[in-house]
Structure 1
Amino acid sequence: MSGGLAAPERPVTDVGKDLLTVGIEEEFLLVDPATGAATPAIEAVLAEVPDELRGQVQRELQTSQIEIGTPPGLDLGGLRHSLGLLRTGLAEAADAAGVRVLAVGTGPVAGPVPPVVDNPRFHRMIERYRLLVPGPGVNGMHVHVGVADQEIAVQVLNHLRPWLPLLQAATANSPFYEGVDTGYASWRSVLWERWPSVAPTPWLESHAQYERSIQELIDSGMMLDEGMLYWYARLSSRYPTVEIRIGDVCPSLDDTILLAALARALVDTALTDIHAGRPALQVGHHLLTAAHWRAAHDGLEGLAVDPLGGGLRPAWHLMRRLFDRLRPALERHGDLALVTSLLGRMHTRGTGAARQRAVYARRGELADVLDDLAQQTRG
């Protein structure tokens, strides 16, 4: 709900010349190592974060959450290195504070509801929205891709709309909630969608319409401010970026880097299409809503809504088709070999949700799931 990203070093839209920067924000759950329940330990953990990382670690909405943000860059290897340092530093700070940090969409284990961080804006949110907040916290992943021209960035949003459910499916990492299997791959998505401004990005004609829409939602009382625009893709209110914000936080660095590469390739492909005068695929709001629900329910292990013709297809079939669509952009950024490898690994091992269920199936113990998540989070 907040951002810790530094300004992009070289946001560009000139297709064919410059590459696109990418940066990542990840939110994590703080849990009691004995019970596995979410614990209000944000201040204790922040006190243990090394000085050199403090500028990239911050509070989130609830005292059981903590967020990191990478500096933006062009090279995925550098991005992975930054994330590795942040995740390791955060895990060590949590150890020193007597808690655990988990890369998981929401709390697998039941427990008392942690309070909201003492922040005037957060208190206004509680006053306005009341029972939407209670729970252990919902933890997402946001990918920022540098696009400086706001008019073009709005066109990019139109081009992204049909493909974001597949990225959501790939991030699914919260099948367990309060001690039970929810039947969903991403229960975080279900909890998150209770907020009234969470929705697929609408079709937009211009940046002026984008700005008018935000103001109308604020005037209606549905949002307190622009920061509460929780569309699945939006223009960042702080940085010259397109922000894709549909996924659970990923359990491992491999998953995170894969999703960042796919997100950047989607934006790059959109810019190429805009430059060539190719229109965005128009998909009805109702079908996009269905596609996002299906992504939350099935992840990549089940079925997905086909944006090209409707109907259900195996999710991995649609992911392979998307990969083929993104291949030129992946090649242009030097990411093709890495994404091919990481996507193959995810196909073999499953999404985070599938891996959690596989661990649980061995002994029927959520403690095993938490142990595995803690290990993956550290990298």
Structure 2
Amino acid sequence: MARFGIEEEFLLLDEDALVPLAMAAGTRERFTRLRTGGSVTAEYLTSQLETATEPVRDRADAEAQLRHLRAIVGWHAQEQHAIAAATGNPFATTRSSVISPSPHYDDVARRLGHLSRDHEVNGLHVHVEIADDEERVRALNRIRGWLPVLLALTGNSPFADGLDTAFSSWRSVLIHRLPSSWSPPRFHDLEDYRGRIRQLLDLDAIGETSSLSWAVRLSERFPTVEVRVFDAQLEPEDSVFAALLCRALLLSDDRSLHGDRLDGIDASLWTAARSGMDARIVDPTTGEAADAWVVVDRMLAAGTPALQEFGDEEFVSEHLARLRVDGTGAARQRRALETDGTRGLAALLRAGTPAPITGRDRTPTP
């Protein structure tokens, strides 16, 4: 059974104003030394944290690790009288972001310039293990056409500057300002992939390969394809759902996709970011525009053999049924704000990273 891993990013938010909070010097360093059932690491901004599971083989292990890691970041946020928010973009901002100290982040900040002031974005990244180098490139090509519907299903950043953006994924709009973002081109082989990256480096568009912002790329550290199209997700089940879909699609050798003839992926990513599951997006099996839910059905048909092989079909089907009723993360955030204002939105965000209390020292459960 192919292994996969899940990386989640969180923003530490003031529990009342819902604006990002920078962690004090030393606080995050102490916190990120924890290494139990996955890891917690620093991210681009001092208000951000990233968690990463160890490689897992099944849904149960993935969900257990995510819940454990979210309990750790939730406990830490509670200690700061804050919320560790699993959302693609903060509700509001002070535009006073502090860059995490490191040579890599210093270079990124120099390149981004003014963009860093509101680049407070959180994503969900899914790694799927594929041993063969060339097969990883073929798998990347296969999933390109499904990127818009994957984004439509997982948009979770409807607010910015305390306002409704009218977008399902405002994070995706912010990411698109970067020089290597949204859908990568279709690659002939591994050498073509490497050549495109060398060109970006030669242009000085990126400083190193780790700065690639494509919605799917090959990992430089692991023998994996890394899917990065998703906003950070409200609940662990949302993240696991995205990961299982990625594994099924990357490992399904679907010959019905249009491949070289497929256009409109970036345009579809924009409509998916704008309208979520109400969007019209390109159907990679026909090359024509279709309603997002129609494309979901085509995607399931493509991924069902792998979902069945791994025992994931029932979970994915049930989660899709829930999405039809409850809506995406963006819809749930809007509903929470409409129902009970920022207090309701804070409660929704806090529920995604609950903080268990186990004793006087208030340390998280190991």
User: Do these two structures clear the TM 0.5 threshold for a shared fold by scoring above it?
Assistant: yes
User: What does 1:122-137 correspond to in 2, within 5 Å?
Assistant: 122-135=105-118, 137=120
Structure-2 separation of matches of 1:184 and 1:307: 23
Equivalent position SS for 1:299: helix
User: What does 1:1-379 correspond to in 2, within 5 Å?
Assistant: 19-41=1-23, 43-48=26-31, 51-53=34-36, 56-135=39-118, 137-270=120-253, 273=254, 278=255, 281-282=258-259, 287-363=264-340, 365-378=341-354
The answer (yes or no) to whether the contact 2:37–2:65 under 8 Å persists in 1 is no
CA separation of 1:280/1:136 partners in 2, compared to 1, >3 Å: closer, same or farther? closer
Structure-2 separation of matches of 1:166 and 1:283: 19
Structure-2 separation of matches of 1:239 and 1:312: 35
Query: What amino acid sits opposite 1:185 in the alignment?
Result: S
Query: What amino acid sits opposite 1:33 in the alignment?
Result: E
The answer (yes or no) to whether the contact 1:63–1:115 under 8 Å persists in 2 is yes
TM-score, length-scaled by structure 1:
0.88
CA separation of 1:136/1:29 partners in 2, compared to 1, >3 Å: closer, same or farther? farther
Structure-2 separation of matches of 1:136 and 1:194: 10
Equivalent position SS for 2:126: strand
The answer (yes or no) to whether the contact 2:256–2:285 under 8 Å persists in 1 is no
CA separation of 1:343/1:54 partners in 2, compared to 1, >3 Å: closer, same or farther? closer
Deviations 1:211-244 (A, max 9, x none): 1111111011001011012211111000000111
Equivalent position SS for 2:325: helix
Query: What amino acid sits opposite 2:79 in the alignment?
Result: A
The answer (yes or no) to whether the contact 2:144–2:183 under 8 Å persists in 1 is yes
Percent identity, aligned pairs only, is 34
Structure-2 separation of matches of 1:299 and 1:125: 30
CA separation of 1:314/1:285 partners in 2, compared to 1, >3 Å: closer, same or farther? closer
The answer (yes or no) to whether the contact 2:37–2:54 under 8 Å persists in 1 is no
Equivalent position SS for 2:10: strand
After TM superposition, give the deviation of residue 181 of structure 1 in Å: 0.3
Deviations 1:141-182 (A, max 9, x none): 000000111111111111111111111111100001110000
After TM superposition, give the deviation of residue 327 of structure 1 in Å: 1.0
Structure-1 separation of matches of 2:153 and 2:29: 30
CA separation of 1:152/1:180 partners in 2, compared to 1, >3 Å: closer, same or farther? same
TM-score, length-scaled by structure 2:
0.91
Structure-1 separation of matches of 2:134 and 2:305: 24
CA separation of 1:65/1:233 partners in 2, compared to 1, >3 Å: closer, same or farther? same
The answer (yes or no) to whether the contact 1:23–1:73 under 8 Å persists in 2 is yes
Structure-2 separation of matches of 1:112 and 1:232: 25
CA separation of 1:253/1:111 partners in 2, compared to 1, >3 Å: closer, same or farther? same
Structure-1 separation of matches of 2:258 and 2:221: 28
Aligned counterpart, 1:3: none
Equivalent position SS for 2:5: strand
Structure-2 separation of matches of 1:54 and 1:63: 23
Flag structure 2 segments of 5+ consecutive residues without an equivalent.
356-366
Equivalent position SS for 2:269: helix
The answer (yes or no) to whether the contact 1:36–1:367 under 8 Å persists in 2 is no
RMSD (Å) for aligned C-alpha atoms: 2.0
Aligned counterpart, 1:5: none
After TM superposition, give the deviation of residue 285 of structure 1 in Å: 7.2
Structure-2 separation of matches of 1:52 and 1:331: 33
Equivalent position SS for 1:101: strand
- Larger displacement relative to structure 2 (137-146 or 120-129): 120-129
Structure-2 separation of matches of 1:47 and 1:362: 38
Structure-2 separation of matches of 1:229 and 1:136: 15
- Larger displacement relative to structure 2 (135-144 or 317-326): 317-326
Structure-1 separation of matches of 2:15 and 2:119: 15
- Larger displacement relative to structure 2 (70-79 or 367-376): 367-376
